[in-house]
Amino acid sequence: MSSLNAESTAFRNALEVVRAVEPRVADAIAAELTDQRESLKLIASENYASPAVLLAMGNWFSDKYAEGTVGRRFYAGCQNVDTVEALAAEHARELFGAAHAYAQPHSGIDANLVAFWAILADRVEAPALRRAQARQVNDLTEEDWFALRRELGNQRMLGMSLDAGGHLTHGFRPNISGKMFDQRSYGTDPATGLIDYAELRRVAREFKPLVLVGGYSAYPRKVNFRIMREIADEVGATFMVDMAHFAGLVAGKVFTGDFDPVPHAHIVTTTTHKSLRGPRGGMVLCQPELADQVDRGCPMVLGGPLPHVMAAKAVALAEARRPDFADYAQRIVANAHALAEGLLRRGAKLVTGGTENHLVLIDVHGYGLTGRQAEQALLDSGIVTNRNAVPQDPNGAWYTSGIRIGTPALTTRGLGTAQMDEIAELMHTVLSQTRPGANPDGTASKAKYILDRALAERVSKQATELLADFPLYPTVDLG
């Protein structure tokens, strides 16, 4: 049986089984494939997992409870879960050159929570317990625990600000990280949009954080992790890197040396989707001294592990160890550069003036729009993006002044640099022809916009025609 027949048969049969119970769910699943096939997906945090990865999630592993770690479970009968979790960790260690890997986090936020509490337990809780136990002959008193809780919640974190490209889990106040830590942010140079390492060093010396966080979700440049580790060491901080967005570029050896966080950080977190092209989930890599604390992620902050997702992680990480993945990672960056150049030639304003990674951040203020207006106008035209803050954004984190785009998903479909220039033309056409709308009282709206419907339909048709030569999941035919 050919690969085409095997994969088509698998998905067709799965949908028929679902349809027999709830046909509306089966219809929604099929419709999602159609929508993704027909849309230009430029969301930097999305990708397309392989059929093997998708199929690895739909199986009997979903039925298992498996709290604990490999060989140390709180439930019996987890030998097969041990196999897939060990395989996921093995592939991760080999792929990234990490001393230890933990594959249980359900998401990137969960991975960051595991890292935060592992650092707190290693740097604060254990020493505080030892001090308390030295004072107490018997069990710890409630006063001891109160003092410990106060100490755990009073530590300092220094992370990249949200408008500069950082993530909400790097100390943004509405997120748990902003409530766990006494937090301060570092930004970027107002003139260039680039990290000013001298200023970062000054802030770190002044603030003296327990945790220095590197990594980003909307910073279109490389980061020098060697310098950041030097700063962390100078102020006695644990250096943590969130590489959720660019893990695929690390795995594919696009980012090496000073720009590979794994040799420099004490602890690294990531998602397994995005540029890594796996299932939705998270992972933690760390140095040996933090391994025991990281492995306590469940039940410390995680619920029961998801064995079916860990199976899919193992498959995706095995795929990423193949030589063709390195070529894929190189093409992601080449496509991002071509897309940025195409936009610049047409007069778009880009944060930092370009890109060195997988994403591009457009300042749509130059088009007279907010990010929310631009996002919806592009969506009406068959181009899927997401609005994003730009440095010192006057419109805040909801309406924003930026549009973040990325190339991992379209690169997976096989599009190349020539198509990126065509996409830049389509985007510029929409953005330049969109005008801000007004509220009912005549005041300017940050959400409403005016776009000729015929133009939107024409661009959407062009986008669909462009994608026709690059079919999504060509081996899957749902009939």
pLDDT digits (tens, 9 = 90+) for 238-272: 999 999 999 999 999 999 999 999 999 999 999 99
Predicted confidence (pLDDT) per residue in 352-383, tens digit: 999 999 999 999 999 999 999 999 999 999 99
According to DSSP, residue 350 is labeled B
Q: Are 338 and 420 in contact (CB under 8 A)?
A: yes
Predicted confidence (pLDDT) per residue in 400-418, tens digit: 999 999 999 999 999 999 9
pTM: 0.93
Percent of the chain with pLDDT over 90: 84
pLDDT-based confidence at residue 447 (cuts at 50, 70, 90) = very high
CATH number for the segment(s) 324-468: 3.90.1150.10
**3: pLDDT strictly greater than 70:** no
Bridge partner list, 72: 69
3-state helix, strand, coil in the chain (%, to 5): 55, 15, 35
**pLDDT at res. 137:** 45
Q: What is the dihedral angle through the alpha carbons of 383, 388, 394, 399, rounded to the nearest 10 degrees?
A: 60
Residues 6+ apart with CB under 8 A from 469: none
Distance in angstroms (rounded) separating the CA atoms of residues 186 and 195: 8
For the chain, give every residue range classified as CATH 3.90.1150.10.
324-468
CATH 3.40.640.10 holds for 63-320: yes
Predicted confidence (pLDDT) per residue in 81-96, tens digit: 999 999 999 999 999 9
Bridge partner list, 282: 271
Distance in angstroms (rounded) separating the CA atoms of residues 104 and 193: 35
**pLDDT at res. 349:** 97
Token reading at 186: 């570092």
Q: Per-residue DSSP letters for 181-240?
A: SEEEEE---TTT-S--HHHHHHHHHHH--SEEEEE-SS--S---HHHHHHHHHHHT-EEE
pLDDT-based confidence at residue 2 (cuts at 50, 70, 90) = very low
**pLDDT at res. 148:** 74
Residues 6+ apart with CB under 8 A from 77: 64
Predicted confidence (pLDDT) per residue in 109-123, tens digit: 999 999 999 999 888
Predicted confidence (pLDDT) per residue in 117-157, tens digit: 999 988 887 777 676 665 554 566 777 777 777 777 778 99
**1: pLDDT strictly greater than 50:** no
For the chain, give every residue range classified as CATH 3.40.640.10.
63-320
**pLDDT at res. 364:** 97
